[in-house]
Amino acid sequence: MIIVITTLMAATSLLLYRKHEKAQRTVLQIGCVYGNSAFIGIALVQAVLGDNAVIYATLIVIVETIHMLLYCELTMTNGKFLIWKALLTPGVIGFVIGLAGLLLNITFPTPIHSAIVTMSGMNTPLAMLIVGIQMSKADIKTVFNQKDLYSCALIKLVVQPIILALVMLPLQLPIIAYRTIVICKGTTQSAVLSAYAQDYGQDARLGSQLIALTSIMQIVTLPLITALTQALIS
């Protein structure tokens, strides 16, 4: 379900901003699709829905991370799509190792286990640091003067989660799964957007501005989306 949803959204985003220069177009298109589920999404659904929601949020993170790497490699390069470059990244390699450990039921020694647990506690604080660094790179004066940023932010934070909430409602998914997907899809743009743009020679400045704007707007939109999921299933 998550793979289908993400793929459909990515395909739809290709229809947007087609008249823009490639450096700006790719950043805006990617900005419409992928959110910060890894940091803000997991922390939020855990606080709102409990620990059982974390598994669904983690699945979203896995799918979105791999999907975004492939999407960036496909759209930001000049036709030189290299799947190995997208897959052989620290995030994907770490996921494969972690998944293997889970499936094989590998038990780590106490010192390693304790270190992993301690590091996991940095999930949300680290996200705030990364977002803060990205926002510091943005020219705040110009952030609020670009209609393209507003349209992209509204699609990401409002339009996308509302459409998902309505489309998935008849599917009668488990309540926790339903609310987790919608909430995670309503999170701010991933903090790695400008890093990818920089790496691929696209408009990294625009990516930083989009992260800054969505981070500010999310203060209002994300609580409303969370409340909407509760109201629709009541």
The tokens describing 162, both together, are 């509302």
Contact, 179 vs 45, CB < 8 A? yes
Interval 89-133: pLDDT, tens: 666 677 677 777 777 877 778 888 788 777 766 665 665 676 666
Write down the pTM of the prediction. Answer: 0.78
Amino acid sitting at position 160: Q
Give me the pLDDT at residue 127, please.
59
What is the Cα–Cα distance from 230 to 225, expressed in whole angstroms? 9
pLDDT band at 194 (very low <50, low <70, confident <90, very high): confident
Domain extent for 185: 2-233
Task: Round to whole Å and give the CA distance between 29 and 172.
Answer: 30
* Ranges 54-68, 82-96, 175-189, most confident: 175-189
CA pair distance 138, 211, nearest whole angstrom: 9
Give the whole-angstrom CA distance, residue 131 versus residue 156. 17
Total domain count for the chain?
1
